Amino acid sequence: MSVLAGCGEKPAADGSPKAKADKVRIAMVVKSLGNGFFDAAHIGAQEAAAQLKDVEIIYTGPTTPSAEGQIEIVNSLISQKVDAIVISANDPNALVPIAKKAMQRGIKVVSFDSGLAQDGRLMQLNPSNAQLIGRRQLEMARDAIGGAGEIAILSASAQATNQNLWIDVMKAELAKPEFAQLKLVATVYGDDQSDKSYREAQGLLRSHPNLKAIIAPTTVGINAAGKAVVDEKLVGKVYVTGLGLPSEMAGHVKSGAVKEFAIWNPIDLGYAATYAAYDFVKGRPDAKAGGKVDAGRMGSIAIDAKGEAAMAEPFTYNAANVDKFAKIF
C-alpha cells in the first residue's frame, strides 16, 4: 500500500487535476517516507522552491522502499499532470517503463541519489564523484594529523565497486606534492560488518604503533574505527575520518577520536535536484546531456554525455555542525 503525500489538488470540471497556472509543480518521489535523509532532501527542495518563487513541491514516496510502490505513485503523478518528477529510485530498471510514460506525456524526469537507468530520465544527479570523494578524505586525514604521518584505510568489502574507486583515487592523489608526507601503510576490509570492522581497526592500531589516521570510506567502518580508537585509549594520537552519518558520528566527534568527516548533504541534494528539474521544465537550452544546469547557491553543475552530473565534493561535518545534522540523519 502506497501513500501519496501532499497531493491534494482540486479536480477540474473534466475530472483532471487542476494545476495552479502560475506554479511549476515538481514532485519529489523518495525511496520511502519517514526517512531522515529524504526529509532533509525535502527541506532543500522547499528552499529551492522559495527562491524560484513559482514552484510547488509535492513530496511523496511509498511507506516502505519498493519499486512497486514508486511505480504506483508515478502513475498517479502522471494523471495529475505534474511538470516534473525528481526521483531517488528503489530499482534503476524496474521504474524505466513508467518513467518513459511520464516523459512521453511531457513530464520532465530527473533522478537523484539513487539513479534511474539512462533511458528513464533526462538527468541523474549524483551527490559527488569518485575524484572529489577520494581526495576529500585524504585532505581530512592530512589536516587532522598536521600534514605528515602514517595512514591506513579501513574499507567495506574488497569487491565494493564504489569503495575501490575511491581508494584508487586516494592512492593516485598520494603521489601529488600536497600529500607527499602521508604514507599509506595498510588497506584492510571490514565487509561493512560492525564487529569485523572493529577488529580490523584494532588490528591496524596494534600492528602500526606509529599510525596517525584511519580513513574509512564506509559509514559502518568509520563508526567502528572511532570506537576502536577510544577503546585502545589512543584519542589524540590517532584520528579517524572518512564517510559517516552525523547521527552515528556525533559521539566520536565529542570524544575527540574524529575531528571531521564527510558525506553528501541531503539538503543540498534536494535543493540542486529541484533547480535541475526547473531548468528542464523551462526548456533551458543547456539543460541536456553534455550541457549544464544552474543550481542556485550550488552553482553551475555540468552534465556529461550520459546525462549524469556530480553535485559537489562531500559536505564536511565537525564539532561546529554535527549536532544540527545528527537530528536529521
pLDDT in tens, 81-121: 999 999 999 999 999 999 999 999 999 999 999 999 999 99
Which sign, positive or negative, has the C-alpha torsion 309, 220, 153, 319? positive
Report the distance separating Cα 302 and Cα 289, nearest Å: 9
The pair phi, psi for residue 88, each rounded to 5°, is -105, 110
User: Is the domain covering 2-127+266-312 a CATH 3.30.70.100 domain?
Assistant: no
CB 263 within 8 A of CB 245: yes
What are the residues whose beta carbons fall under 8 Å from the beta carbon of 209, sequence distance 6 or more?
none
Residue matched to cell numbers 598536521: 146
Class of domain 130-263: alpha beta
- pLDDT for 249 beyond 70: yes
Tell me if residue 56 falls in helix, strand or coil: strand
H/E run at residue 85: strand 84-87
**Mean pLDDT to the nearest integer, 154-160:** 92
Please give the full DSSP string across 143-157, using - where no structure is assigned: HHTTT-EEEEEEES-
- pLDDT for 12 beyond 50: no
Topology alike, domains 2-127+266-312 and 130-263: yes
Sorted by where each begins, the domain ranges of the chain are: 2-127+266-312, 130-263
CB 153 within 8 A of CB 186: yes
pLDDT class for 21, splitting at 50, 70, 90? low
- pLDDT for 176 beyond 60: yes
